[in-house]
Structure 1
Amino acid sequence: MPTTLRRSLLAVLATAFLGAAPSMAMAGVNPPTVDDNLDPGSSIHVTKTVSTPVIPPRPDVVLVVDSTGSMGPAIANVQSQLSTIVSSVKAAQADAQFAVADYKDVSDGASVFTVRSDLTGDPAAAQAAINAISAGGGGDGPEAQLNALWQIGAGGNRISFRPGSSRVVVWFGDASGHDPSLGHTLADAVTSLQGVSAKVVAINVAGGDGLNATGQATAVTSATGGQFFPSVAAGNLSQAILEGLTNLPVTVTAETACDPGLSVSFSLSLPRTVQSGSDLVLEETISVAPDARQGSTLTCTTRFKLNGADAGDEFVQRVAIGVNDVTPPTVACGPGVNPSGRTPGGWQQAGFFQMVADDNLAGVSVAIRDDATGTSFGPYAPGTYFKLTQAPGRSGSTAVPFTGAVDWHFGFRGDATLVATDAAGNTASATCSVPPAQK
């Protein structure tokens, strides 16, 4: 989305700390539907905009808290503002879930890593989990965050991430970490987080030597597609958490299902990664195959996914293309019958004809025209039997019902032309004439 709109949304989020949680702007694909008619073998181009949500869909948010002794003010800030964080995120993504874990140092024994709450959609449960954390311990300067991050990911598998969710780990602390930590190196932690496709938002709380003193924070955030906040005051931590959740990379992919004979493609090619809350503009080509069945309506459904997650009906595009009938009908002056229903041996000289017409689709009709006067009669159904009498000296053209098996009698000054017209307006013609009598 435009920068000004994005800033306004972030400003709205910030006001959540002063009042009620805001509602979020809608995201989705525009236009959501395409309805058109195309000839076989042709294409159309449509500019498609995928507006990503400020917060990625179906978020599973894990708060990983440094709970050592120096972190008291930062923890207190999050405890007092967690309800606002949760309500703001849920205003954007109602199915958001939160988990809470904290870490200390190896010297703190069993408290080195604790999952206070697995993922839950219950704000009260998340609040109780963060309230259970108290600052204390820590031993020497570096802490045990690499073990904590490893435990969160596929290595420790301590968090029950939902299938198809957007996984975000919000890690905050003020100190560097031991490497290795309980046997887990920085590389181990990164691999574990990548194993669950988690993006890490690392927030360094000002005061200690810092999460990134040895480059651990930027290594983790770069490898997971997250972001790093290098210095945040304890009193601003909650706002930084919320901002971090609204500035994440979003990878857009598409799953398309089309009827045979119809296809869609995109330029730029997908997947494509953009910042959450921004627009991805695509040029879409919708193509009908040369052998597509004429007169049919073909459909395509494209479901745009964000970070591999189903983003809802707002991100579904439906295409309906009517395939034009471009094939003209066939028409001929066929052998007719006499009033008794028999085809005479000299049917053409006798002037007995049949309007023979066919088409690839239903709905063909036939008109008949006197070439000398330009007068036309009809339309008639294919299979109509008629008697044609040609008299160059007559004053005009006539059409009257005939007798028996013969439907019509046409009196023309010149030859007759049959014009077949199908339901799409395609035409074809054939000439009928009565040979002059042999002398």
Structure 2
Amino acid sequence: MQKRLFATLVGAAMVLPVAAWADSISPSSFSATLSVGESVTVHKTVTIDREATTSMGDVFFLADTTSSMNSPIGNVITNASTILSNLAGKGDIQYAVGDYRDFVNDPYAYNLGQSMTNSQAEAQTAINKWSASGGGDWPEAELYALSQLATNPGSGWRAGAARFVVWFGDAPGHDPSGGATLASTIADLNAMNIHVLAIDVGKMDYYGQALAIATGTGGAYYSGSADVSGTILAALATAFDTYSDLSIDTGDAPAGVGVAVAPGSYSGAFDRSIERTFDFDVTFTGVTPGDYTFDIYGTLDYGRVAIERDHITVTGATVPEPGTMILLGSGLLGLSGFARLKHAA
């Protein structure tokens, strides 16, 4: 049995507390009692606002700190407070910081200075520790660094967050580097759904690596600007304010409730220059008896941006399949006819 409810018919909706996000799903909560096998469909609208103020994002700042990088590093250190504050205005943002040099004649090839934190002060402190020295030969250990920040749990990437690496340097990388190749590095980043914003302040793309990594992870490549901090701000603004896919994330739904969404997603070239709305039908089906409260999310290609809460009670009664009902009715009619024949005899 299937019921169909629309947003205008919210009598069955129960007011439940949900997080305050600027991007939204309407209705913001829903409650129903279903038998096992019974379904209800609710029409939901996801609204994406003009500005990103409620994004859940993790941003990793990665710098080449070899000797030729003194000026770009100084520029970022000076403007880090502005960059971090600007990011904080986009919602639930955390920051991580790391840097790389090379394997030969350097104290380290890659250093994790700060794992993901919501503290701007901690991120600023880690950035302030960057200093340019060493490097040896021209290519550096960037492939190793990118692979490590993706695969090392110490980075602290959060589930459900949009994940970006802001990477800047002036030289290409050894391939392989500490076992990491260009192909394996891109694979490691994609496995963690990390988008790389590559900012070339010299010849970082001399071997074609920076562009390949940026495009291969759904990020972007920037070059030719002396204002590193300005480029970082512009790159992050574009990353958070443009999107090409919107869908409903039902990953937190319990096994006791089936959740199906139609359409599966919307794809296109979207931005936050205007408010946009997207309509979905969400169908809940009772699977296992129990009382379930869970969230579903509006998700852009870079992460979750809106939340909606559902409370579904599944009772032990099983709704008969339509074919079962027909067979049951035929059986009763047959018994009735048999009784009449027996009485007539």
- TM-score, normalised to structure 2, is 0.65
Partner residue of 1:177?
173
Aligned residue type for 1:69 = S
Q: Secondary structure at the match of 1:153?
A: helix
Asked if structure 2 preserves the Cα contact closer than 8 Å seen for 1:55 and 1:92, the reply is yes
Equivalent residue letter for 1:270? S
What one-letter code is carried by the residue in structure 2 that aligns with 1:166? A
Q: Name the CA distance, whole Å, in 2 between partners of 1:195 and 1:264.
A: 25
Residue 63 (structure 2) pairs with residue 65 (structure 1):
yes
- Change over 3 Å in CA distance of 1:109–1:242 after alignment to 2: same
Counting aligned pairs with the same residue, the percent is: 33
1:76 is matched with 74
Between the aligned partners of 2:230 and 2:196, the Cα distance in structure 1 is 16
**Cα distance in 2 between the residues matched to 1:276 and 1:191:** 27
Q: Does 1:316 align with 2:316?
A: no
Residue 120 of structure 1: CA displacement?
A: 1.4
The equivalent residue for 2:208 is 215
Equivalent residue for 1:165, pick from 151, 161, 165: 161
1:428 corresponding residue in structure 2? none
Q: Verify the 8 A CA contact 2:175 2:182 in the aligned structure 1.
A: yes
Corresponding residue for 1:137? 134
In the alignment, residue 166 of structure 2 is paired with which amino acid? V
Measure how far apart 1:211 and its partner are.
1.6
Q: Which one of 242, 249, 252 corresponds to residue 246 of structure 2?
A: 252
Q: Which secondary structure state, in structure 2, belongs to the residue aligned with residue 141 of structure 1?
A: coil
Q: Map Cα deviations across residues 88-110 of structure 1 (whole Å, 9 max, x no partner).
A: 111221x3111111111222333
**Take 1:153 and 1:253, find their aligned partners in 2: how far apart are those partners?**
25
Name the aligned partner's letter for residue 236 of structure 2.
L
Is 1:232 aligned with 2:215?
no
State the SS of the aligned residue for 2:105.
helix
Distance in 1 (CA, whole Å) between partners of 2:28 and 2:55 is: 22
Once the two structures are TM-superposed, the CA of residue 218 in structure 1 deviates from its matched residue by: 1.5
Q: 1:241-266, CA deviations, whole angstroms, 9 ceiling, x for partnerless residues?
A: 12211222464221468xxxxx9854
- Structure 2 CA distance for aligned equivalents of residues 202 and 167 of structure 1: 14
Task: Please say if 1:152 is aligned against 2:149.
Answer: yes
Hey, what's the Cα distance between the residues in 2 that align with 1:216 and 1:255? 33
8 Å contact kept, 1:56–1:276? no
CA distance in 1, matches of 2:107, 2:309: 51
Instruction: After TM superposition, give the deviation of residue 54 of structure 1 in Å.
Output: 3.4
Inter-partner Cα distance in structure 2 for 1:119 and 1:186: 25
**For 1:58, what is the secondary structure of its paired residue?**
strand
After TM superposition, the structure 1 stretch with the greater mean CA deviation from structure 2, 243-252 or 116-125, is 243-252
Q: Structure 1 residues 139 and 55 mapped into 2: Cα distance closer, same or farther (>3 Å)?
A: farther
CA distance in 2, matches of 1:58, 1:33: 18
Q: Distance in 1 between matches of 2:80 and 2:210?
A: 23
Which protein shows a greater Rg?
1
The aligned residue for residue 88 of structure 2 is 90
1:114 aligned residue (111, 114, 130): 111
Match of 2:234, SS state, is: helix
The alpha-carbon distance between structure 1 residues 47 and 306, as it changes in their structure 2 partners (threshold 3 A), is: closer
Q: How does 1:18-29 map to 2 (within 5 A)?
A: 27-29=22-24
Q: How many residues align?
A: 269
Q: 2:233 aligns with which of 242, 263, 272?
A: 242
For residues 52 and 185 of structure 1, do their structure 2 counterparts lie closer, same or farther at Cα, with a shift above 3 Å needed?
farther
Q: Measured at CA, do residues 106 and 29 of structure 1 come closer, stay the same or move farther in structure 2, by a change above 3 Å?
A: same
Contact 1:56 / 1:250 at 8 angstroms: preserved in 2? no
Q: Residues 132, 53 of structure 1: CA spacing in aligned structure 2 closer, same or farther, 3 A cutoff?
A: same
The answer to whether the 8 A contact 2:68-2:132 is kept is yes
AA in 1 matched with 2:246: V
Compared CA separation, residues 144 and 52, structure 1 to 2 (3 A): farther
- For residues 132 and 82 of structure 2, the distance between their equivalents in structure 1, rounded to whole angstroms, comes to 22
In 1, the alpha carbon distance for the partners of 2:170 and 2:73 equals: 11
Q: Give 1:111 deviation, angstroms.
A: 2.3
Q: Secondary structure at the match of 1:176?
A: coil
**Alignment partner of 1:222: what SS?**
helix
Using the TM superposition, give the Cα deviation of residue 192 of structure 1 relative to its aligned residue in structure 2, in angstroms: 1.4
> Which residue of the partner structure matches residue 379 of structure 1?
none
Q: How far apart, in 2, do the equivalents of 1:173 and 1:275 lie?
A: 30
| C-alpha distance in 1 between matches for 2:65 and 2:25 | 45
Opposite residue 168 of structure 2, the aligned amino acid is F
> Could you tell me how far 1:195 is from its partner in structure 2?
2.1
More helix by share: 2
Aligned equivalents of 2:144, 2:282: Cα separation in 1: 50
Question: Does the residue aligned with 2:265 lie in a helix, a strand or coil?
Answer: coil
Pick from 188, 197, 201 the counterpart of residue 201 of structure 1.
Answer: 197
How much has 1:53 moved relative to structure 2? 5.0
Query: Contact 1:119–1:160 (CA<8 Å) still a contact in 2?
Result: yes
Gap change, CA 1:182 and 1:302, over 3 Å in 2? closer
Deviation of 1:59 after TM superposition, in Å, equals: 1.3
Conserved? CA contact 1:168–1:198, under 8 Å: yes
* Alpha carbons 1:246, 1:276 under 8 Å: kept: no
Gaps of 5+ in 2: 1-20, 31-40, 254-258, 284-294, 311-345
